[in-house]
Each structure stands twice: as C-alpha cells, then as structure tokens.
Amino acid sequence: MKSTLVWKTLKLSPALLGLSLFAVSHADAAIPDQTANTSKSTVELNRQLSETSIEIDPLQIASDVPPSLNPTNMTADSNRELLEQIQRYSGENDAESLNQVTSVGQLRDVSPGDWAYEALRSLVERYGCIAGYPDGTYRGNRALTRYEFAAGLNACLNQIERLIGTGGFDETELETLRRLIQEFEAELATLGARVDNLERRVAFLEDNQFSTTTKLKGEVIFNLGGAFSDEDLRIDGEDDDDDGDVDAFGDNLTFSHRTRLNFDTSFMGEDRLRVRLQAGNIPEFDEATGTEMARLGYEAATDNDIVIDDLIYEFPLGDKIMIAIGANDFDFNEIANLHNPYLESSGTGALNRFYRRNPFVFRNNAEQGVGANIMFSDSLSLDVAYVTGESESPADKDGVFNGDFTAISQLNLALADTLDLGFAFGYSYYPGEDVNLSGSTGSPRAKEPFGEIATSALRFGIQGNWRVTPTINLAGWGGYIDAEAEAGDREGDDADLWTWMASVSFLDLGKEGAIFSVAGGMPPKLTDVDGGDEDDDTSFLIEAQYKYPITDNILITPGAYVILNPNHDDGNDDIWVGTIRTTFSF
C-alpha cells in the first residue's frame, strides 16, 4: 500500500522534492538567523509548509485534479495570469542556461560558513539535483517565485525513482512532498493544461500545415474611386482623341479590387524565394484622363486574370551581403532602400504612383535582373543592381546585354537614428523600343525625349527620410537625367529632365497606427532638349491621405490628389482623383 501511494504521488509531481530543497537556498531572506544550523532551518521550513498547506487527500491528488482547480473550470483571467508568469520565467531561463554540478565546491559563491551550505551539499551529493550558472555561481540570494518553482522540469525525477527502489527515500521526505503538491496544486494544473494544449496544437499543425518550407501571405484591396475634370486633356496641344471636340470625362465612380497571394519559401533559413500571384481590375486612370500623372500606385488591370507578378530569390552571402535575383517584375526598388517609409508600399502607401519612389532611380522599365545590398556598417551601406527589360527574348536588340538595361547604385548613410540619406547614380540604355525615362509618371515628352530611337541616360538621385519627432516624419527626393540620342538624325542630341517630391507624415494621429500624410511634387519634366520641344509649363501633384487601422489586418485609407497643369501644359484643366482604399492583409 505504501509503495502504491508513493508511486501515485510521483505521477502528479515527479520532481518537486528536489525543487523544494532547491528553494531552500533562495529563502535566506525569510530566515532571521543565518548562523542557525541546517537542522533548525529544515524544521522551520517544514513548519512554514505545514501552516500554509491545503488539507487534501494525497490519493485524490495523485489520481485526479479537483474540479475547482481544473484548467477547464478556472477563470480565463486566472489562467492568463499564471501563463504570463510562467512564460516570463521561461524567457529568463533561456538567457542563462544552468549546468549540473557534482560537488558543492564547484559553486564559487557558496562557502562552508553559509547557513544553507550543508543543505546544498546534501542536495548535490545525495540527490544530484543542483544546477549552477555557467559562470560557476549559484546566486542563492536571487528571489524565487511560485511560478518558477511550479515550472521546474523533472530535475530530480530519476534520482527519486532510484532512491525509492533502493529504500533511500524515507517517510519524512514523502510527507514534505505531499505538502508541496497541495501548496502548488493550481500552478501544476495550469502547467499540465498548457503542455497538453501545446501538444495538441503541434499535432494539428503538423497534420494540416500548408508546407514545411513555404509561408502564405495575402493582401486584398477594395478600391472605390474616380477621376474628375471639366474636359479632356491635350497632348502636344492637340485634342487627344482627334475627334475635333474636347470630351468630358470622370462622371463615373468605380469599384474594383486587387488580390495578391505571396508564397515565401526558405530553403536555408535566411533565404527567400517569393512567388506572387496577382489578379485584379483596378483601372489605369491614364487611359481615362490622357496623362500618366493620374495613375494609381496600386493599379492591377489584369481583367481578373491570374498572373505571376513577382518571381524573386534572395539569399545572404556572408554576414554583410544580401543578393537578389529576379526573373519577373524586378527593378532596383526590390533590393535598394527607398527612403520613403510611409508612402512606398503599393498596398498601404501613396495613392498616386509618382509618390511611392523616385522614378529616376527606382523605375527603370525593368523586368529581370540581379542586385545586392552590402552593409559596411550600421550607418553605411551600398545598393547595386543590373536590370533589364527583355532579357528573356532572344530577338535582336533584346537579351541580357543587347536589349535595354540599367546599371545603378545607391550609397546609403544613416546619420544618428533619425536621418537617412541615399545618393544614387546609374546608366541606362534603350535600343529604340520601349524608351521610358520617366517611369510612366510624367509627361509624354519626359518619357521619350527623342521619340522611339536609341537613347542613353545618366541618372542622378538623392532621397532622404528625417524623423523630426517621434510623431512627425519628413521625406523627399530630387532627380536629374542627362539623356542623349544614340541613333538616326538626332544622334548626339542632349536632353535634361528633372523631378522632385516632399512629404510630411503625422504618426499615431487620432489612433495608434493611424497616419496622416500630405505630399507635393513635380512629376518628371523635360526642361531642355536639342532639336525638339520641351515641356512649356509645369505640373504639380498634391496628395492628402489618412491611413486608419480598423484592426491589425484591416486598413482603410481615404484620400485624394490633384494634378495642376497636367502633362506640364497650363491649357489642360486640373484633374482630381478621389479614392477610398481598404486593405486586408493575412
């Protein structure tokens, strides 16, 4: 009968004797006389345990937890408090692992004069249940909480089983164990439920996981918006549809969507292969308005056909270099720092395409390429890339080196913790088709200053981001392109293009996570060209938006932007675009 009682008791708390004795060394604050002998200290400890113990049948403890203490019947607040305490304890122990000692002399901060010396020596030599810190200390004055005590993991299980089998475990020690079980019954019940729940969750995830290497992330945008103006635009001073009339547009309000599924796969832990599927019907407002300045920053005119929008592989090369290779929709922005943190995202950033990033640096009409980010220090890094537009084509004036390409770099400086700057320089060449120097954000002349003939361009850009205060952020850029005609009658002609933007964002305005942003700038403009016409006037773009998080996964962004003198022509009426964008992320 006695052996059965012992075994049932051990089933509920397999290591509490060793842990209870472990607690003695931490209880010196409760012992008034530190010079007292070990026997007196043990009696005092047993008296305290007896006074605070709960009267309960040990057989009931060994077989079933009382219903009042069953985790399924405990209040949610009580369980939550217990688990938070236990998790904090686990986090502390992760930082400093303990090492088993075989002699009390291995503990540098324990001396024979300490009141608990004999108890520690007994624990080490009799039970083998004492662990020290890696630096050889025991830290006996450190406070021990009930949760730390309850979260101990079987430190003495094997030793107790061995002692019971050899008759080395007496009745007094069994009685101490019973009292400890009663005192810490609630914590033990909660720990048991937590382990059981974790085991069930792990088993479920293993049986139902999408992939062992791939994570699925999604984003869906619902967009309600429209473009409004009194009349159609003129291109080069002419009615854009050549029907002899000036046509009104913009009376229609549109409702559309963009859906993205990102499959991120890691093969080595620090690498990532991204495959993005996209479908949508968000309109391209340039087709309705006659100017690319009106384009949205998150359009998806695929007529709801599913396309592969991104195909990029990133991997580290040592500790300081990250390499990126893109086979589809890859440009310099995929690897470089854009220095525009609150407006750069296509799903949650600027409403207008122009404001997301400097078009002279990060929009090179590219589709494939390779790039790298090199970290020299925490405050100095270099982005480099070689990108092409038709590298998949074997046709003449296509391919990796014979088609259009851009070689570009950016030096990044982090000044203190609040100011970041980027200085970019690049060279582009277009063999005659698909010339696009403006990144489809400016005037037609800025896009093709010489028409569809071979064109080269030197690209310069400076962009920066300044956190003025914890709740105010400034960002902006300036860009310049020196273009030259490389073929035909205009070979040798030069052209100058300029652009700039500035924005201010107010963080946590009205709610934590909410951001109000105002931006203004000049879209790419052809200011001077040999043997051709430059843009006579100047367009200005102004945008205001308010990002408001409904939940952690739902963000609503009402806003509007206006284009003054569209296509750098004051003969064109201003265009207004209003939109309410709702972004769901999962």
CATH fold of 214-585: Porin (2.40.160)
pLDDT of residue 200: 78
- Can you give the pLDDT at residue 311? 96
Question: What is the pLDDT, as a whole number, of residue 174?
Answer: 63
Tokens standing for residue 55: 């009267």
164 vs 115, which has greater pLDDT?
115
Cβ atoms of residues 157 and 96 within 8 Å: no
User: Does pLDDT of 533 surpass 80?
Assistant: yes
Q: What's the rounded mean pLDDT across residues 568-584?
A: 95
pLDDT value for 69: 38
| Dihedral sign, Cα of residue 383, residue 388, residue 391, residue 397 | negative
Determine the 3-state secondary structure of 299 from DSSP: coil
Taking only the tens place, the pLDDT of each residue in 306-321 is 999 999 999 999 999 9
Q: Are 142 and 113 a contacting pair, CB within 8 Å?
A: no
d(CA 116, CA 95) in angstroms, rounded, equals 26
Q: Where are the domains of the chain?
A: 2-208, 214-585
The per-residue pLDDT of the chain, averaged, comes to 79
DSSP element (H, E) containing 58: helix 58-63
Looking at the chain, the whole-number percentage of residues with pLDDT higher than 90 is 53
Is a pLDDT exceeding 50 seen at residue 44? no
Asked whether 501 and 441 are in contact (CB, 8 A), the reply is no
Q: What is the pLDDT of residues 432-472, one digit of tens each?
A: 878 999 999 999 999 999 999 999 999 999 999 999 999 99
Inter-residue contact 444 to 236 (CB < 8 Å): yes
Highest mean pLDDT among 33-37, 181-185, 489-493: 489-493
Question: What is the structure's pLDDT at 538?
Answer: 97
Residue 435: CB atoms within 10 Å: 22
User: What is the pLDDT, as a whole number, of residue 432?
Assistant: 83
Whose structure tokens read 């400097």? 358
Alpha carbon distance 358, 18 (integer Å): 65
pTM check: above 0.85: no
3-class DSSP assignment, residue 439: coil
Per-residue confidence band for 191, with pLDDT thresholds at 50, 70 and 90: low
